[in-house]
Chains A and B, each alone.
Chain A
Amino acid sequence: METTQPAASAPAPAPVPASSQTFTPSSAKSADPPQLLQTPSVSSTKSEGMVAEPRDPPSSASLHPPEPSSSAGPSHASSSYVITIPSCSGWFSWDQIHNTERRILPEFFDGKSASKNSEVYKYYRDFIIKRFRANPTRKITLTDVRRELVGDIGSIRRVFDFLEEWGLINYTPLAKPSAEDKKGNDEGLEKKETPRRICTNCKSPCSMACFTTDKADIILCARCFVRGDYRPGLSSTDFRRLNITEETKTDWTDKETLHLLEAILHYGEEWKKVAEHVGTRSEIDCIARFIKLPFGEQFLGPEGSINGNSHKEKDEITTKSIEDNAPEQGSPKRMRLTPLADASNPIMAQVSFLSAVVGSNVAQAAAQAAVSALPKVEIASGFTVNDDKLHSAADGAKEEDSPAVDQQAYSEILSVAAAEAQAKLETEQKDVERYISDIVQVQMKEIQDKIIHFEELEYLLEKERLQLRHMKDLLFEDQLTYLQHNTRPISKGAEGQNAKSNNHVP
């Protein structure tokens, strides 16, 4: 989706006094309104800070005739050009700094350097954009801009690159995609007309589900979406899913499918060689087709893969048809497909990938089924929810006929896995209990030690108290003797008495 804004270079009185003098006035080339008509449902955007030029209501925005600017002059004929920016940058406004800008160019906003702050950023940004809009037919280059901006080249370059990538400058929606196109830019507009969609990230045709966002006009294949390889500023919630059935394009003949399976059997995950072997199909097609083949069992843990292999051999002997072979050969290969999604837990990656492919409704139903089936499973309890979810998700995903043979193998594998998980769980629990009791013991010991310590302290204190009392008594004695000596000459008789009483005291 695109947004249009009437150009407001010259009419803006204050902001751009100087810059108009420095360029040669562009030739009075009016916009190309006829081409704009091709764009579906143009929506208009808010235009804060732009000069209040009369703006047409959305429905006729595409027929916007070239308006002479209010403060006209022949040199400002370029203002009749309609400025467009991609809707992913609709947040842009002259007055504010958006979170996107803060996030992508943190150097200006983290306060680490005194001279790089938001005003400086705004000054660079406004300058560059005004410069571009004064002459929108011509792409401005970094050199043009950095010569006129005060500051260090690195920061200017980063702001410039950011603006260019987000289409706020040098953005011509009708231009062919040039070699310099950064990822995720809106040139995919043309591709919307064609049935085939190219994922803007990995540049591969998406033939399975594809995800698109209105914010950026990015189309991602399921893999890129799950991997999270979209540009910053978008979150996974911004995307909505579009289904493309690959079968309508070209149907896989049996021969091709057979080749595919043989190739996978031989080469495993080397899709290049597989594609070569199949011959008429690209790698992506092979992978897509392979995934769509009817499989009964999926996504077991690592233990399951070994069993999966043995079952594969067994079934090869028993049946010869392609459809039966496919699942068995598929499962170990399928498990090796898990590293596709970039999650540390391969099982969770699978879950995410699957849920992406099948759509939210099915995934939700599958998860619910898994949760409700959990207590009903006749295998030993202690089954991890993940596995179950995966299984039921897998079951739900591949609605094609699942042979009964596979169900059995499936449950056997399940039981083995469950038993192992159970055992591990028990040991874990025991360990935990042991540790807890150890901790408790240590705590008790600590408390005991403290009590002992305090008792000793008490004892010492008691002794000290006794000593003090003793000393007090001695002092009292000394005082008495001193007094007696003092009063001796006064009364000799008293002295004799005192001396007697003195002898009693100690």
Chain B
Amino acid sequence: MRFFTPGAAKASIKFRMPTAENLVPIRLDIDVDGNRFKDAFTWNPSDPDSEVTNFAKRTVKDLKLPSTFVAHISQSIQNQLSEFHSFEGQEMQIKEKIVPIKIDLRVNNTVIRDQFLWDISNLESDPEEFARTFCKDMDIGDPEVGPAIAVSIREQLYEIVTQSVSSARETRIGKKGRRASDTLTNSKAGITMDLGKLFGSKGSVVRKRKEWYLYEPIVDILSNEEVGALDAREELNARLKRKLDEKDESFQTRYSHG
């Protein structure tokens, strides 16, 4: 039995997803001539590049999308993969962090909200298995929910590890070294939790009853009208956001030249 001293063991390892399978979450959101295609799935980064084009072609054919999508899809996937690969050579520091993972999704008619704690340093964790068990336990009828959950978990994990890569870089650059990492952890105090506090002499493993409601999963089935309403609102938001982005860009270009 190893005795945990929180914060002391900082294993520095090569960048990878902290899961048993080193899979990358890919999100596609392509808009061509008013046709919008949104998708999210997990990809194995060690698959050859030919897979990307095959997959794009196959998807376009299966969904009967216009063929211009093939290039866009392949491009998007390739971009995300190369971003992942660019992180790959670098070191990251896995501190023994327990991070809360939040699920807040709407898939077709089902709304899922949940929150739970995930151990980043456990390199054998499996979001897919979690998603499967979740759907089975919660008796979720729609089979599209499972993959969505898995992708969402992976995305959050991915974000965390990429941040830890940059933090590793900073600690090396900064002369303070250890102190710098401490300040970082303090700044992220809201996100990470100190194991010591939980499992120390005063804490116990059992969650306090008043906190139960926070960690309980909520699964809601919406009626079709609600779904329609939510969809319309999301569309509106997306359009507004796009307009704002365009404004920002034009602003930048105008004032960078001027």
Contacts and interface: CB of A to CB of B under 8 A. Distances in A.
A153 B147 CA distance: 10
Contact of A151 (B47, B51, B61, B128): B128
Contact of A143 (B20, B42, B63, B132): B63
Interface string A15-57: 0011101100000000000000000000000000000000000
A492 to B, nearest CB: 80
Interface stretch (A110-118, A348-356, A440-448): A110-118
Interface in B121-159: 124, 126, 128-129, 131-132, 135, 140-144, 146-147, 149-150
Contacts of A147: 39, 41, 144, 147
A148 B19 CA distance: 21
B41 A115 contact: no
Nearest to A142: B58
Contact of A153 (B42, B63, B141, B146): B42
Interface string A145-170: 01111111111010000000000000
Nearest to B131: A150
Contacts of A437: none
A384 interface: no
B21 A116 contact: yes
Contacts of B21: 113-116, 152
Contacts of B58: 141-143
B148 to A, nearest CB: 9
Given A153-B43, A153-B44, A155-B44, A114 B23 contact: no
B43 A115 contact: no
Interface residues of A, number: 26
Given A147-B147, A149-B147, A150-B147, A115 B44 contact: no
Contacts of A459: none
Interface residues of B, number: 33
Contacts of A144: 62
A476 interface: no
Given A113-B20, A114-B20, A116-B21, A141 B43 contact: no
B199 interface: no
A123 interface: yes
B55 interface: yes
A150 B62 CA distance: 19
B144 A150 contact: no
B59 interface: yes
A147 B42 CA distance: 10
Nearest to A160: B58
B23 A152 contact: yes
A19 B59 CA distance: 21
A115 B126 contact: yes
Interface string B173-209: 0000000000000000000000000000000000000
Interface in B53-72: 55, 58-59, 61-63
Contacts of A154: 43-44, 47, 51
B44 A152 contact: yes
Contacts of B39: 147
B84 to A, nearest CB: 13
Interface in B7-55: 19-21, 23, 39, 41-44, 47, 51, 55
A144 B43 CA distance: 16
B217 to A, nearest CB: 16
Contacts of B55: 153, 157
A114 B124 contact: yes
Interface in A303-342: none
A22 B109 CA distance: 11
A116 B146 CA distance: 17
A123 B132 contact: yes
Contacts of A141: 58, 61-62
Nearest to B107: A147
Contacts of B143: 18-19, 22, 127, 148-149
Contacts of A153: 41-44, 55
B224 to A, nearest CB: 14
B66 to A, nearest CB: 15
Most chain B CB atoms below 10 A, which of A17, A127, A143, A153: A153
Contacts of B126: 114-115
A253 B132 CA distance: 70
Nearest to B47: A154
A150 B20 contact: no
A148 B144 contact: yes
B141 A146 contact: no
Nearest to B24: A152
Contacts of A127: 143
14 contacts: A18-B140, A21-B142, A22-B141, A113-B21, A114-B124, A115-B126, A127-B143, A144-B62, A149-B143, A149-B146, A150-B147, A151-B42, A153-B41, A155-B44
Shortest beta-carbon contacts, A-B, top 7:
A141-B62, A148-B143, A143-B62, A150-B146, A114-B20, A154-B44, A152-B42
Given A115-B126, A141-B62, A150-B146, 6 more contacts: A141-B58, A142-B62, A144-B62, A148-B143, A151-B128, A154-B51
Interface of B: 19-21, 23, 39, 41-44, 47, 51, 55, 58-59, 61-63, 124, 126, 128-129, 131-132, 135, 140-144, 146-147, 149-150
